[in-house]
């Protein structure tokens, strides 16, 4: 039983009137679990995850539970995300080649969805202010195999300093009072009081001020929350429209069960009805609010601010070691600028701006580590590149995969010594190095687990 705060019940009885009983009752209903299939993977066929049917919107959403120790999860084929949250990415729908910012991105649901549309083209800056959450975000970006993302760890104001009028599309899934998650995460209620939405709205307005500094003329802003509170939803958008006259609402097509925004819960501006609300008594999912806005073009102004671009910095010995590995494993992928941070090698997205002064946790693809007289590939490379681009690969059986993710070696006959991309379900799972019939294990120690 979800024991809702009395003040919360009374608030929504007043706001929802005759709908209130059904709304309150919905908090006692079971939550609906779902996931998305990753279109960046070579094989998009589920291997060991049950598909309970397609979600109401989007191409990749499916109902069902995700096991963190499944082949599908560890190879990045699926990402667990409840159905309502999936609508944010569907509404944002960036185009390949765009410059996109996910401003409050952890744990990574929106970022991975945006990357699905971008198809490894363009630049996706995925930012999170809190370092621990940013680390989780970075791990999810790696597992999903995203090659065109930069994960940053900044406050919105710090980020705005580096990217003035830069982004074609900004997604702000704003920190909020979390009312829409009370059923899924009852612990969220301990932070709630009747004034909490007002305090959250103040923070949301502060973040939006910085977001607007980074949106180019003609760009789009997608604002979302997982709360029902008008203070954080329609009232924030009403404030945004009144303070930025060059900003206008974009109508959102409403799938069945999705409600229009409520102008009467703010200043009465009929444009607010172009936003959407997701109520748990109207659909299979949690509570959400989403608005889409467009900044007007400005004549005689440069459409996109051009920042200086990052350049490769590899030494000649590093270039030689990297090329020797490529030749050994038969890697044909062409990467963007190569950047070494100490002994760590990354392939940056094309047209990555100069990263000086930016706190970067992940830039493009972590290719691997320079060791003494050799190069050791990273798991991220196996997850981000199609197996078709590796001449030397080895498809693992289920028992071999179980040994691999547990950190064990296994034996292979009639194969040449050297590095191998190890695959399962036709997707990359990691690297091994074959020496006289023994496949040495390079699965990261911190990720290892025992298959049950």
CA-wise closest residue to 364 among 432, 310, 428: 310
Residues 6 or more apart whose Cβ sits within 8 Å of residue 324: 375
Tokens (6 digits) for 217: 């003329």
Distance CA 327, CA 425 (A): 25
DSSP letters of 204-241? HHHHHHHHHHHEEEEEEEEEEES---TTTTHHHHHHHH
The beta strand positions in 244-395, using DSSP E, are 247-249, 259-260, 276-278, 288-295, 338-341, 344-347, 360-363, 365-371, 374-377, 393-395
173 is in an annotated binding site: yes
Q: Identify the bridge partners of residue 346 per DSSP, sorted by sequence position.
A: 339, 366
Distance CA 218, CA 246 (A): 10
Reported as type and span, the H/E element at residue 36 is: strand 34-37
- Calculate the CA dihedral of residues 262, 268, 272, 274 and round it to 10 degrees: 80
106 is in an annotated binding site: yes
For the question of residue 176 being annotated catalytic, the response is no
Tokens (6 digits) for 384: 């981000």
Q: Identify the bridge partners of residue 431 per DSSP, sorted by sequence position.
A: 421
Tokens (6 digits) for 315: 């030494």
Distance CA 267, CA 240 (A): 12
128 is in an annotated binding site: yes
Catalytic member of 151, 226, 275, 429 = 226
CA-wise closest residue to 103 among 163, 145, 57: 163
19 is in an annotated binding site: no
Reported as type and span, the H/E element at residue 381 is: helix 379-384
107 is in an annotated binding site: yes
| Binding-site sequence positions | 104-110, 128, 173
What residues act catalytically?
Answer: 226
| Binding-site sequence positions for S-adenosyl-L-methionine | 104-110, 128, 173
């Amino acid at each position: 039983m979800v024991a809702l705060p009395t003040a919360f019940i009374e608030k929504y009885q007043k706001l929802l009137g005759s709908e209130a009983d059904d709304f309150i009752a919905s908090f006692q209903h079971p939550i609906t679990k779902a996931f998305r299939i990753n279109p960046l993977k070579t094989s998009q066929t589920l291997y060991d995850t049950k598909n309970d049917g397609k979600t109401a919107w989007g191409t990749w959403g499916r109902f069902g539970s995700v096991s963190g120790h499944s082949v599908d999860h560890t190879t990045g084929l699926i990402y667990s995300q409840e159905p309502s949250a999936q609508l944010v990415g569907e509404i944002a729908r960036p185009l390949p080649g765009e410059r996109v910012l996910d401003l409050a991105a952890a744990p990574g649901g929106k970022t991975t969805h945006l990357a699905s549309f971008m198809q490894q083209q363009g630049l996706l800056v995925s930012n999170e202010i809190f370092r621990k959450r940013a680390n989780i975000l970075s791990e999810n970006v790696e597992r999903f195999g995203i090659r065109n993302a930069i994960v940053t760890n900044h406050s919105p104001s710090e980020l705005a300093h580096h990217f003035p009028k830069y982004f074609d599309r900004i997604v702000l899934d704003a920190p909020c009072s979390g009312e829409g998650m009370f059923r899924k995460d009852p612990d969220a209620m301990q932070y709630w009081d009747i004034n909490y939405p007002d305090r959250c709205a103040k923070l949301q307005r502060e973040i939006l001020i910085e977001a607007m500094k980074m949106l180019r003329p003609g760009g789009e802003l997608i604002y979302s929350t997982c709360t029902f509170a008008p203070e954080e939803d329609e009232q924030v958008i009403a404030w945004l429209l009144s303070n930025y006259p060059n900003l206008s609402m974009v109508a959102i097509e409403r799938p069945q069960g999705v409600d229009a925004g409520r102008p009467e819960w703010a200043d009465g501006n009929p444009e607010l009805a172009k936003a959407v609300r997701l109520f748990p008594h109207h659909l299979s999912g949690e509570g959400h609010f989403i608005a889409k806005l467009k900044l007007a073009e400005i004549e005689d102004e440069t459409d996109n601010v051009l920042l200086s671009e990052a350049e490769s910095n590899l030494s000649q010995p590093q270039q030689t070691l990297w090329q020797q590995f490529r030749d050994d494993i038969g890697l044909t992928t062409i990467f963007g600028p190569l950047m070494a941070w100490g002994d760590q090698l990354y392939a940056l997205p094309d047209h990555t701006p100069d990263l000086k002064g930016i706190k970067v946790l992940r830039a493009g693809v972590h290719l691997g580590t320079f060791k003494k007289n050799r190069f050791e590939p990273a798991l991220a490379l196996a997850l981000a590149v199609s197996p078709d681009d590796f001449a030397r690969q080895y498809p693992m059986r289920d028992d071999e995969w179980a040994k691999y993710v547990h950190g064990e070696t296994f034996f292979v006959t009639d194969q040449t010594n050297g590095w191998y991309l190890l695959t399962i379900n036709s997707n990359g799972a990691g690297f091994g190095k074959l020496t006289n019939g023994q496949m040495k294990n390079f699965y990261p120690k911190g990720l290892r687990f025992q298959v049950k």
